[in-house]
Amino acid sequence: MSRKEAKRAKEPKGAIKERKLKVLNSLQEFGAKIYGQIASGDFPSVKMPSRSINNIFYDQKLRQYILGNKSVRRSSRNIRHIRPLTQLVWTGMFVDELTRQSKTSTLRDVFYSAQAYEMSFTDQQESDNLITDLETVIGYSREDFNVFPEERSAIFGDLTVEYTLPGYEGRRLNLTSHPDGMMIGPALTSAEFISCKADKVIAIEKGGLFTRFIEENVHKRHKALLIHTAGQAPRATRGFLRRLNQELELPVYIFTDGDPWGMHIAMVIISGSANAAHLRDLNTPDAKWFGVYATDIVEYKLPSDKLTELDIKRLYELKRDPRYEGKLWNREIETFIKIKKKAEQEAFSRYGLTYIVDEYLPTKLEMASSE
């Protein structure tokens, strides 16, 4: 039995269903606490970690941002708290319904749905904040309680999944079935992994290149699951990448444009964002960025554009960012600043359309595995 099979065998059956139960328990606990306070004659109140900037710290061990010890309390004893507390309790009730009925919604939907309950939000900003509060209180991300983003990314590769979505339970599909790729949405992120012939994941920023990789059989030649992040990976996709890495022990490589924004797409997959400091399980600390590096622009003589002032400002911000400690990041940030150039993934096409797959990719994979 290979290491990977052993790992899979150890994974509890129905990990997804178990997680859903945990989320529902968490929501129930939150509700029970409120009921308990009322029953014992106390003003209902909620205590949660503060998400203010002075309570966000970078944790070197977890390799992500976390919240510190400061907390805030919302109490119905305080007249200014009654509105947000009521909204928070309603939000908990609403997403509990969603999750129990396995219905998904969006942040926008939550805002409008409130009106069905005569719960008033001034604007969507207010209801979005309440969803984040709820995440903080129950410790799960909104995708766990079925509030999904608009954006979708896609996947292609030799992974067989079994859906748990009502109406599709028990149905299995191999993710090479549709060569344009499958959308990563509620059905896939709630599916169990059945078998996987791939031994790595390659996440790709651009759609054109994702298609190129499929056409050139990268999934077969390099036994890779291919993921199209479509720019910054949506949180559901970041969580899914983590599952592929943790449950299936697949190394994750990230391939972006060669500029500070591409670099940061990789970083958010690796170390998460400060905005999600109240959450766990969304980042993949062992994922590796493998290009386009600033040093690749020099080495491969790539067609490039001049960095804009905004690009350069961004690079100096990244220099001060604790996530960007380490030799690779330092070297690349410094090189970008020195050469003042950026290059897109498609720039390799100057050596022919398949150069990127035939030459660049194998070199990078070899470098990554020999580290």
Q: Which residues bind its own copies (CB under 8 A)?
A: 98, 102-106, 108-109, 111-113, 115-116, 148, 150-152, 154, 163, 165, 167-168, 173, 177-188, 206-208, 211-212, 215, 217, 303, 344, 346-354
Ordered DSSP codes for 89-107:
HHHHHHHHHHHHTT--EEH
Instruction: Report how far Cα 154 is from the mean position of its chain's Cα atoms.
Output: 13
What tokens were used for 291? 């290009």
12 vs 167, beta carbon nearer its own copies:
167
Q: Which residues of 144-157 are buried (b: 16+ CB within 10 A; e: fewer)?
A: bbbbbeeebbbbbb
Helix ranges (H only) for 139-170 are none
Smallest gap from residue 34 Cβ to its own copies (A): 24
Least distance to its own copies, CB of residue 223, Å: 16
11 φ, ψ to 5°? -60, 135
Q: Which two tokens stand for residue 101?
A: 């009925």
Q: Which amino acid is at 96?
A: D
The residues, any chain, with a CB within 8 Å of residue 227's CB and separated by 6 or more, are: 153, 154, 155, 184, 201, 202, 203, 204, 210, 233, 237, 241
Identity of the residue, 181 or 260, whose beta carbon is nearer to its own copies in the bound complex: 181
Residue of 112, 163, 253, 316 with catalytic role:
112
| Least distance between its own copies and beta carbon 314 (Å) | 22
Residues 139/170, Cβ–Cβ less than 8 Å = no
For residue 49, the cross-strand partners are 71
Nearer to its own copies, 236 or 294 (CB): 236
Query: Is 112 among the catalytic positions?
Result: yes
CB 207 to its own copies: min, Å: 5
Q: In degrees to the nearest 10, what's the CA dihedral of 251, 225, 269, 64?
A: -40
Phi and psi at residue 152, to the nearest 5°: -130, 140
Minimum separation from the CB atom of position 216 to its own copies (A): 8
Which of 68/352 has CB closer to its own copies?
352
Give the residue with the Cβ less far from its own copies, 81 or 341. 341
Q: Which residues are tagged catalytic?
A: 112
